[in-house]
Structure 1
């Protein structure tokens, strides 16, 4: 039975939450329909499944992990590997991901995401990404993961289009942790990119949008935003003050043992100082 695993998992969750088959009638799911689903005889509509899971305080993502015995989908695992390599500054791993997957159509965009963290993308790769993202109506983990890793590599015109699109309804992403973290990562990289391009108004706008997305527990994203804000201060307001703030933040990260985040931001700091020294020569 194709649906057995889905139904069995749902059944176990329902029992765990002490709910009966009849408790889902208010969602338009009859007792018979739910029984058939749990016994692997049929599926229920995606929207109703989503609502039923919400009734049990379970996200679709959590549900998929339970079904797959805690194993993430292949694409999520790849993005996780990319993220770890990025924070560890492991260019070799990123290169291997690119080389191993760029020829596989279903993983090609993920391969670009890996490459974009250590090298410029070619015009064809950027065009491929933009064609795909242009057609996105509903942004999920896959699309936001692409954006978080290499959104800053896209053309300026397309980036403006993306920002307008995503922030036409920011609450759709702000309320979901996974989405919020990825969107914040994109904004962080774009603030630095706009600073490097001398676009103060654009950088300031994204700092403001970033602030709107925060939830109380978003500590890491607040740290990165603080760094981006100090980077902005160094670039456009007061170089000495911005430098002092960045160094203070880096010291704090070392003090609490956040070594990989420290190393990542330290690379940005070092690059910024080198850029400043070149401009003064």
Structure 2
């Protein structure tokens, strides 16, 4: 059960910090409720989990690092490999990551699908496995957010809407950690493009607005990708010339600062939606 790893991580942190089960009763969390959570029988509501972690002075990142029984670091390392291969357009490496993990544990399979979804369409059964896993999530740790950052746009619109509502409702919990915000921005960027591609103007605008509400002063590159997605929105729904100029300006800026792998990845999205359209319309 997906609850188990959250409860076990909380239990380990509670013991590590010297708190008894009864120490959280003042937060409205009964000993029996906390015991059931720690033993994987139920899930704490998000706000109570947040308050309990705050009482122990545990950050979301610290909790996330405990969730996968010490395996979080190895998973994060693989996600870093996936991200690097994606930006370098190293399809061979993405395929190797898929092959190495596709017959492993549930988490390894999800890692495999995360890599595969970046170079080809995922079949319905693999998307179904991802959605079944994410339906049980109430705390979006590094593992879950990394999944969203890579292939969250492949989920059903119903699942995407649920996730957006959850992230927005608990925004204050995630927005204070830069690593979390970067992963959320990557997810939101792809979701905006997903809604633009499907012709859903209202949802695309809604996600643009959500994205902008997460910005912190130092989120420069995250602003770049969200503004890039917004430029596609402008191109398709408001002013074609203005949108195209904004897209090209972003690509020129990335070339100027030497972010070549990043620029090529964004250029690929430009070619897919605009260059080919203009080329075939000639």
Give the shorter-chain TM-score range: 0.7 to 0.9
Shift of 1:258: 1.1
Larger radius of gyration: 1
- Provide closer, same or farther for how the CA distance between residues 278 and 156 of structure 1 changes in structure 2, counting only shifts above 3 A: farther
Query: For this pair of structures, how many residues does the alignment match?
Result: 237
Q: Hey, what does 1:246 align to over in structure 2? A: 247
> Which of 47, 60, 76 matches 2:62?
60
Q: Hey, what does 1:90 align to over in structure 2? A: 90
Output the CA distance in 2 between the equivalents of 1:227 and 1:208: 14
Secondary structure at the counterpart of residue 216 of structure 2: coil
**Matching of residues 225-244 of structure 1 within 5 Å:** 225-244=226-245
Output the CA distance in 1 between the equivalents of 2:134 and 2:178: 21
**Matching of residues 110-125 of structure 1 within 5 Å:** 110-125=111-126
- Provide closer, same or farther for how the CA distance between residues 238 and 48 of structure 1 changes in structure 2, counting only shifts above 3 A: closer
Runs (5+) with no aligned partner, structure 2:
1-11, 24-50
Output the CA distance in 2 between the equivalents of 1:211 and 1:248: 20
Shift of 1:91: 0.9
Shift of 1:165: 2.1
- Provide closer, same or farther for how the CA distance between residues 160 and 182 of structure 1 changes in structure 2, counting only shifts above 3 A: same
Q: Hey, what does 2:99 align to over in structure 1? A: 99
Output the CA distance in 2 between the equivalents of 1:127 and 1:121: 10
Secondary structure at the counterpart of residue 167 of structure 1: helix
- Worse overlay, 71-80 or 150-159: 71-80
Secondary structure at the counterpart of residue 89 of structure 1: coil
Q: Hey, what does 2:195 align to over in structure 1? A: 194
Runs (5+) with no aligned partner, structure 1:
1-5, 11-23, 29-46
TM-score, length basis structure 1:
0.75
Output the CA distance in 1 between the equivalents of 2:176 and 2:60: 14
Output the CA distance in 1 between the equivalents of 2:222 and 2:63: 21
- Report if the CA contact (8 A) 2:201-2:237 is conserved: yes
Residues 191-213 of structure 1, C-alpha deviations (whole Å, 9 max, x = no match): 11111111111111111000000
Shift of 1:62: 11
Output the CA distance in 2 between the equivalents of 1:246 and 1:51: 46
Output the CA distance in 2 between the equivalents of 1:48 and 1:177: 22
Could you say which structure has the greater relative contact order, defined with CA pairs below 8 angstroms and 6 or more residues apart?
A: 2
Output the CA distance in 2 between the equivalents of 1:136 and 1:250: 36
**Matching of residues 128-143 of structure 1 within 5 Å:** 128-143=129-144
Shift of 1:272: 1.1
**Matching of residues 1-281 of structure 1 within 5 Å:** 60=62, 73-106=73-106, 107-277=108-278, 280=281
Output the CA distance in 2 between the equivalents of 1:270 and 1:126: 26
Shift of 1:166: 2.0
Output the CA distance in 2 between the equivalents of 1:257 and 1:251: 10
- Provide closer, same or farther for how the CA distance between residues 279 and 158 of structure 1 changes in structure 2, counting only shifts above 3 A: farther
- Report if the CA contact (8 A) 1:53-1:59 is conserved: no
Shift of 1:276: 2.4
- Provide closer, same or farther for how the CA distance between residues 171 and 275 of structure 1 changes in structure 2, counting only shifts above 3 A: farther
- Provide closer, same or farther for how the CA distance between residues 257 and 143 of structure 1 changes in structure 2, counting only shifts above 3 A: same
